[in-house]
Structure 1
Amino acid sequence: MSEATAAGRNGDFIVFDKVDKRFGRNVVLDDLSFSVGSGERVTLIGPSGSGKTTILRLLMTLTKPDGGTIKVDRDYLYHEERDGRLVPASEGHIRKVRSRITMVFQHFNLFPNMRVLRNVTEAPIHVLGKSKDEAEARGRELLEMVGLGDKLNAYPSQLSGGQQQRVGIARALAVDPDVLLLDEVTSALDPELAAEVLDVLRDLARTTDMTMLLVTHAMKFARDVSHRVLMFNEGNIIEDGTPEKIFNEPENDRTRTFLRSVIDES
């Protein structure tokens, strides 16, 4: 990986430094180092089990690394600096750093007993401390943006899968994140509904300067929205480049084999 590529577009914003993650004897991430620049959109591709989703879960603090460090905008995520040395971070420190990150999951995970607008406003009110009026005004704006301005009072069960995922996107944006993580957000949808969601995300990519990490098998979408693509295999990055480079002229045999299999399936 070149020094310029590793540094990202606008300086390091997310930095993984020699990160290890194991589940029992299974090594998921192996001494992994990479960085993402501020405002950069990076897509992680590779076979199942290669560590892509684990990276997102580490950033969301849904699982902890077994070694190495992770930084978000110069702040360590799982460590703090005290007296010139790194020590394990307090829960308060982890929550503070993690509050700048949000994630749209593969499965929608909406609160079934809450109407759409309340699903979007729950975190801004109870986590960020926004007033109900402020949160609802922003929630309406976001739901309008994702094409659901007429569904404010619907329950999730009254929506299609694509509509539920668009609510999930609005909910993620409602906490005003610096980093948006997208984990196979269309894999549970049929092609028509997936296209609705991807169109929303394309618009979002065009109109926001958020840092974004995406895990997807939708290669056309990855080509459209990414500044960089990282190819993973067995817990490591084996190729890193622009979408044009990775999709048109991959250098690694494993990348070529993977892309052929994904394109054949689509």
Structure 2
Amino acid sequence: MQQSESTETAGVQSAQEAPEAPEAPGKEIIRFDKVVKQYGSNVVLNELDFRVEPGERVTLIGPSGSGKTTILRLLMTLEHINGGVIWVNGRPLSHMERGGRLVKANEGYLRRARQSIGMVFQQFNLFPNMSVRKNITEGPVHSLGVDKAEANHRAEELLDLVGLSDKIDAHPTQLSGGQQQRVAIARALAMRPQILLLDEVTSALDPELVAGVLDVLRNIAQTTDITMLCVTHEMSFARDVSHRVLMFDQGQVAEEGPPDQIFGDPQEDRTKQFLKAVLEHG
């Protein structure tokens, strides 16, 4: 079961106050334009701008509370923005166009908009009463209208990809934490998303199980053209799979660049401080 959605009321403009629709973005698959997210007086994202290109693998690093996971939850529409616009595939995500202006999106629009996005959470969130096969095929069959035979074939392919072909008829309670997380990755991929969001996917695992999950993700990164947006404290993984690394601090991008630069020659003091603390702790 997915993490429960926020019950917070969206703080976007009403239809009467809605801004004119800006020009749609170019080829980038994700674009944040001046995005604000706050809880009361606590501003989590402060007019955030950033872009992700199709097929790009971007890792978000930074201290807890810097806004990294909030970005993923906004993209999954589990949270609502308080200002700005998020674009996915050239279309506004949390807004829809009406009469040349952007207004708050309704649930039907949101449901269609997030079909291109898959997410793997910290907790595995598998349905305990369903087999591994059923966990993977349920979404494609009921949400995408995929034929059951095709969904089963896809489940078998994905379980082979994550190294769990022999567990297709097992139940989650019969699996280790690392195996459950690999099933969760297969389940997300079964929906054939263009964008895969990864939120600290190894944080709930025992240390000896982390390597297997990260190896699966490395293999996916190397063998597919899926766009990946990853939040992690596993710096070696970030260095291995990323095209670009963004260092977050206080709701803004403090520094960004290719992994070799960020990890080998960071320019900002805040990045240096964070990496020193993480690597010493590790």
Matched, 1:201 2:203: no
In structure 1, how many angstroms separate the alpha carbons of the residues matched to 2:235 and 2:220? 18
3-state SS of paired residue (2:188):
helix
- 2:22 aligns with none
- 2:72 aligns with 56
Deviation at 1:86, TM superposition (A): 1.4
Deviations 1:105-127 (A, max 9, x none): 00000000001110111100111
Q: What TM-score do you get using the length of structure 2 for normalisation?
A: 0.90
In structure 2, how many angstroms separate the alpha carbons of the residues matched to 1:164 and 1:79? 35
The answer to whether the 8 A contact 2:27-2:90 is kept is no
**Long gaps (5+) in structure 2:** 1-25
- 1:236 aligns with 252
- 2:178 aligns with 162
In structure 2, how many angstroms separate the alpha carbons of the residues matched to 1:119 and 1:84? 41
- Structure 2 residue identity aligned to 1:67: G
Deviation at 1:265, TM superposition (A): 1.3
In structure 2, how many angstroms separate the alpha carbons of the residues matched to 1:253 and 1:208? 35
- 1:137 aligns with 153
How many residue pairs are counted as aligned between the two chains?
Answer: 257
| Structure 1: 4+ residue segments shifted above 4 A | none
- Structure 2 residue identity aligned to 1:194: V
Instruction: Pick one of 248, 256, 266 that aligns with 1:250.
Output: 266
Deviation at 1:90, TM superposition (A): 2.3
For the aligned residue pairs, the C-alpha RMSD in angstroms reads 1.0
Matched, 1:65 2:81: yes
- 2:46 aligns with 30
Matched, 1:85 2:98: no
In structure 2, how many angstroms separate the alpha carbons of the residues matched to 1:128 and 1:165? 23
- 1:12 aligns with 28
- 2:11 aligns with none
Deviation at 1:103, TM superposition (A): 0.2
Deviations 1:107-157 (A, max 9, x none): 000000001110111100111111111111100110111000000111101
Deviations 1:213-239 (A, max 9, x none): 000000000000000000000100010
In structure 1, how many angstroms separate the alpha carbons of the residues matched to 2:125 and 2:36? 28
3-state SS of paired residue (2:80):
coil
Deviations 1:149-168 (A, max 9, x none): 00011110110000000000
